[in-house]
Amino acid sequence: MQKRNLGKDNLEVTALGLGCMGMSFGYGAAHDKQEMITLLRAAVDRGITFFDTAEVYGPFTNEELLGEALAPVRDKVVIATKFGFNLNPDGSPGWQGLNSRPERIKQVAEASLKRLKTQVIDLFYQHRVDPAVPIEDVAGAVKDLIHEGKVRHFGLSEAGVGTIRRAHAVQPVTALQSEYSLWWRKPEAEVIPTLEELGIGFVPYSPLGKGFLTGKMDETTELGKGDFRSTLPRFTPEARKANQAVVDLLTNIGKQKGATPAQVALAWLLAQKPWIVPIPGTTKLSRLDENIGAVAIVLSAEDLRRIDEAASKIKVEGDRYPEHIEKMTGL
């Protein structure tokens, strides 16, 4: 598996990571724990070293899953987790607003270390920017954790360029995690140039459009109970029908490359910058292998030009999040 470096401290990870949220949270019922442990270890066997989780996924159960699955290979992997929410006091899924107060950050770090069965968190992201807490205080709290040896690297998620610059001035930011794919390209305007200027890596989540860009969904696909996509404007049947044009574009390129739409979508991201590391999620070994296959696909400058030209003619329908969730992003 090819390697890439995130940030000026050169956090080395595989060109593709594995987003683990869907194993426990977000897409309906949690998957069988032993099956997911087997999948996580299969990912390690196939060379993947970069695994993404968060306190809020479950809550807690996704971190516990990674802790158990990766403990035997801890020295071979990079684990990223996140802080930034007030969780429901009864332990139910969801949250009760943002909370990035320094004391809360340090509490989350201690609890996450225990669940992850590790002595250090490799990459600790602020999950969403908290407007009630100056980002300098957030960066300072993570800086303290780094000095204490409990965290190695600081990350932000869905932060705007002003926040990124202010945080980076206090504690160098190793990576920004935000949504980025062929059907959500807003980071290209300001965020990606800023990351390049500052030497910060970029970790796109939902690089396959929450499953839509795989070509395995259409307007007739039934979203199961508890699948958060059923609340997203971009996943109404009407929007899915309209947005099929994006999948058709990926399919056509794939036919020329001997690749699936998902592989083309990931290869397109990898071709944008050498410091971009997508984290597609899956619960199936076959999809894991399919995603890994994207790393070997080379898109030429002409391929990328043709994709951009075709994509520029497609109007993606539907907001990516409901308004109350979109407001929690800094983009």
Residues taking part in catalysis:
57
Torsion of CA 139, 141, 143, 149, to 10 degrees: -150
Please list the residues that pair with 155 across neighbouring strands: 125, 175
| Rounded distance between C-alpha atoms, residue 117 and residue 70, angstroms | 9
Residue 157: closest CA among 13, 330, 32: 330
In the structure encoding, which two tokens stand for residue 296, read together? 């070997």
Can you list the positions of beta strands (E) in the chain? Answer: 3-6, 11-14, 18-19, 50-52, 78-83, 85-87, 95-98, 121-126, 151-157, 173-179, 201-205
Q: What angle do CA 44, 53, 23 make, to 5 degrees?
A: 75
| Rounded distance between C-alpha atoms, residue 151 and residue 142, angstroms | 7
Residues 6+ apart with CB under 8 A from 232: 210, 318, 319, 320, 321, 322
Residues 6+ apart with CB under 8 A from 268: 182, 299, 304, 307
* DSSP-derived pairing of the beta strands 11-14 and 151-157: unpaired
What is the phi/psi pair of residue 180, to 5°? -160, 130
* DSSP-derived pairing of the beta strands 121-126 and 151-157: parallel
Place of tokens 């699955």: 69
